[in-house]
Amino acid sequence: MDPDLLKLIVDYQRRVAEAVAMLEAAGVPRPTSDIAWTGMDVPGQGSLPGGFKWYKHGFGCSVQGAAWGVDFDFGPEGEIDGFDPSRLYGFTRGQPEAYGFKSEQDIKAAVQRALDAGALTFSGYILYTLLRPAPDEL
C-alpha cells in the first residue's frame, strides 16, 4: 500500500477515535449501529471543549475545530474505522500535498489501487476499511 495513503488513513482514524471520545465525554453516547445513530435522541449539533463543534448527519457526524476536523459515518455495528476518499480529502483541509497527494482524485486513485491490491475492503455502501497493517507499517 502507498505509505502516504496509509499515513493519511491512520491519522484520520486516530482523529475519528478522538472525536468520538470527545462526544462520549460530552454525553453523546456511541451508537451500537449506524441505524441506531439515525434514531438516537441527541441534539443535531453542539459544542465540545477546545472550541470544537459537532453536527449529526445521516449515519455519521462532523466534528470540527480550529486545528483539525473529521467527518465520519458509523458502521453497521457502530464501527468508527471506515473512510472514503472524499472524507480523507476533507481531513486534509484542502491540502492533500501534506500527505503527498495533489488532489482528491489522487487520493481516490490511491484508495482504488489499495482496494485492488487487497489492502482495503469495501462495505458496499460508501465506506472502505483498512485491513490492519503490521505494527511496523504505522
The kind and range of the H/E element at 57 are strand 52-57
Q: Which residue, among 4, 7, 10, has the nearest Cα to 129 in the 3D structure?
A: 10
Is the per-residue pLDDT at 131 higher than 90?
no
Q: By percentage, how much of the chain surpasses pLDDT 90?
A: 88
Q: pLDDT tens digits for 43-81?
A: 999 999 999 999 999 999 999 999 999 999 999 999 999
List C-alpha distances in Å: 31 to 22, 35, 100, 120.
14, 8, 34, 24
Confidence class for position 124, pLDDT limits 50, 70, 90: confident
Number of domains in the chain: 1
Q: By percentage, how much of the chain surpasses pLDDT 70?
A: 95
pLDDT on residue 125: 85
Range 3-27 average pLDDT: 96
List C-alpha distances in Å: 67 to 15, 50, 52, 54, 70.
11, 10, 9, 14, 11
Confidence class for position 134, pLDDT limits 50, 70, 90: very low
Q: Which domain holds residue 114?
A: 3-137
Confidence class for position 135, pLDDT limits 50, 70, 90: very low
